[in-house]
A and B are shown apart, each in its own frame.
Chain A
């Protein structure tokens, strides 16, 4: 479980997050949604420690992460897996080397154990046999899945995904959603997904937090979101003709 309590964050005096309070629950897919510029990426990057917060507490299973100095965050960081928007795979490494990287850095596994772990996580993202390929040889969907595999390599308790569906066709995006959902259940992780993909919201949004102008505007699940009378959320959710038709 991740608790975000009274978080404030500003850049150059311009407030981006104001008094955010969210609990991301274990074993669930927790979605952060909001329009571009609403502050959802800043919230996620604050949670993973890339942005220091101005005020407030972020704790992982009761351990205060936000007030720890960078050195002491390391232990909690090794329990996190992060899927960045573009994948952030190391270009000069093969798929296997990318996934093996955290294992090389933080474990004392033997080469055989590492290889087995790589094969295991690749099988879990349905990419068995791609070990020798370079990121430049992979499609967008495969890149995302390799990035998920790398995020899973250290068996994380917390999985963060920033816009996992961006730049993907609807079918591939749906597969990534299913994968994230299934992996969350299988490994009982606390998964936090940053998205503005309404299909993800409706399919895997077990807990949804809507951020609007830097504030937590609404919380609920994928069923409740269709029935909300919150005008700002309605504007966001039913912004496209397709979602308006679904509502009707």
Chain B
């Protein structure tokens, strides 16, 4: 019953968010701040994880594909495909759900319990629109950039690990990443990323916005934001994959 009630609250909140902002320049300023906080500040963690994941994938593939009948460039090809299709859009979104989602939920939740949201409402500002719309927009603008960055760094990580360990000769790896490229895979990755960006920011904002109580509840909201975003990411990953790739 609580689940249906929460879904209802979420559905009612979203139209409040997607209203025309009161003042364009205030929205743009807030958007710029959110792009920095949500996007730019996540570059470091995305870079580290992407490079290492690419490296690990390449080594694991090399370890598993040791048949002389399978050409070595297949390792480069498989690393690239895994990164584009799944690792960068889905795995990175889950990382961002942890980093960005918890931040949004705790920031808005703290504003709720310290009456800052009430203050906005009393002033005649639509708090959902003012606080949440720039965050959703920032994530939907910047997450595709981060995922593209992650794909390139992952491929780079695979090349470094293959070359350094000698498991995949550089020539073979580079040949593999250039072969059998399907451009639609990138479109598919970006569509998923946009959907996940919306899920992460809207669910986290909803969790923060509806907090009641004190610091303990803000902590719970933050945890729930991450857990629920991740569950929804996996569910929508399956749905989108079924819709777009079959």
A residues neighboring B (CB under 8 Å): 48-50, 73-75, 77-78, 80, 82, 84-86, 88-92, 101-102, 104-106
Given contacts A88-B114, A104-B26, A105-B26, contact A82 B124 (CB under 8 A): no
Q: How far is the CA of A219 from the CA of B33 in the complex (A)?
A: 49
Contact across chains for A105 and B125 when beta carbons are under 8 A apart? yes
Indicate whether A82 sits within 8 Å of B23 (C-beta atoms), given known contacts A88-B114, A88-B116.
Answer: no
Given A88-B114, A105-B23: A74 in contact with B124 (beta carbons within 8 A): yes
- B22 sits at the interface (CB 8 A): yes
Q: A104-B26, A105-B23, A105-B26 are in contact. Are A86 and B115 (CB under 8 A)?
A: yes
- Minimum Cβ distance to chain A for residue B211 (Å): 15
Contacting pair A80 B114 (CB below 8 A): no
Q: Which residues of A contact B245 (CB under 8 A)?
A: none
Chain B residues near A78 (CB-CB < 8 A): 123-124
A104 and B27 CA atoms in complex are apart in Å by 11
Q: Is the CB of B23 within 8 A of A77?
A: no
> Are A105 and B123 touching (Cβ within 8 A)?
yes
- The reply to whether A85 and B125 form a contact with Cβ atoms under 8 Å apart is no
Contact B115 A84 (CB under 8 A): yes
Q: Which of B33, B114, B122 contacts A86, CB < 8 Å?
A: B114
Tell me whether B119 is interfacial, beta carbon within 8 Å. Answer: yes
B66 close to chain A: CB less than 8 A:
no
Bound-state CA distance A240–B8 (Å) is 49
Report the nearest B residue to A106, measured CB to CB. Answer: B124
CB distance A82 to B26 under 8 Å?
A: no
B: residues with CB less than 8 A from A are: 22-23, 25-26, 33, 110-111, 114-116, 118-119, 121-125
B213 to chain A, nearest CB (A): 15
Q: For the complex, would chain B's binding face be called helix, strand, loop or mixed by DSSP majority?
A: helix
Q: A105-B22, A105-B23 are in contact. Are A48 and B122 (CB under 8 A)?
A: yes
A39 vs B114: C-alpha distance in the bound complex, in angstroms?
Answer: 20
Contact for B123 among A77, A85, A86, A89, CB less than 8 A? A77
Q: List 15 A-B contacts (CB under 8 A).
A: A49-B121, A78-B123, A82-B119, A84-B118, A86-B115, A88-B115, A88-B118, A91-B110, A92-B33, A101-B123, A105-B22, A105-B26, A105-B123, A105-B124, A106-B22
Instruction: Select B122's contact among A75, A77, A90, A92, beta carbons within 8 Å.
Output: A77
Closest to B123 in A: A102
B124 touching A50, Cβ below 8 Å: no
Q: Which residue of A lies closest to B117 (CB)?
A: A88
Assess whether B124 is in contact with A77, with CB atoms less than 8 Å apart: yes
Residues of A contacting B124 with CB < 8 Å? Answer: 73-75, 77-78, 105-106
A49 to B123: give the CA distance in the assembly, Å: 11
* Cross-chain contact A80 with B122 (CB below 8 angstroms): yes
Contacts of B26 in A (CB 8 A): 104-105
Query: Which 5 pairs across A and B sit closest by C-beta, in order of nearness?
Result: A77-B124, A88-B119, A88-B115, A74-B124, A84-B115
With both beta carbons as reference points, the residue of chain B lying nearest to A104 in the complex is identified as: B26
Complexed CA–CA distance, A78 and B122 (Å): 8
Find chain B residues with CB under 8 A from A105 CB.
22-23, 26, 123-125
Residue of B25, B110, B118, B119 contacting most chain A CB atoms (<10 Å): B119
Please name the residue on chain A nearest to B113 by beta carbon.
A86
A82/B22 in contact, CB under 8 A: no
Residue of A nearest to B110 (CB): A91
Which residues of the partner chain A approach B110 to less than 8 Å between Cβ atoms? 91
Q: Looking across the interface, which residue of chain A has its beta carbon closest to that of B16? A: A70
Q: How far is A8 from B193 in the complex, measured between Cα atoms in Å?
A: 49
Given the known inter-chain contacts A74-B124, A77-B124, A106-B124, please indicate yes or no for A84 contacting B119, CB distance below 8 A. Answer: yes
Shortest Cβ distance from residue A142 to the other chain B in the assembled complex, whole angstroms? 17
- Given A104-B26, A105-B22, also A85-B116 (CB < 8 A): no
Q: What is the bound-complex CA distance between A85 and B115, given in angstroms?
A: 9
When distances are taken between beta carbons in the complex, the residues of chain B under 8 Å from A104 are 23, 25-26
Across the interface, which residues of A come within 8 angstroms of B25, CB to CB? 104
Closest B residue to A162 by CB, please name it.
Answer: B115
- What B residues does A92 contact at CB under 8 A? 33
Enumerate chain A residues within 8 angstroms of B111, measured Cβ to Cβ. Answer: 90
B115 to chain A, nearest CB (A): 4
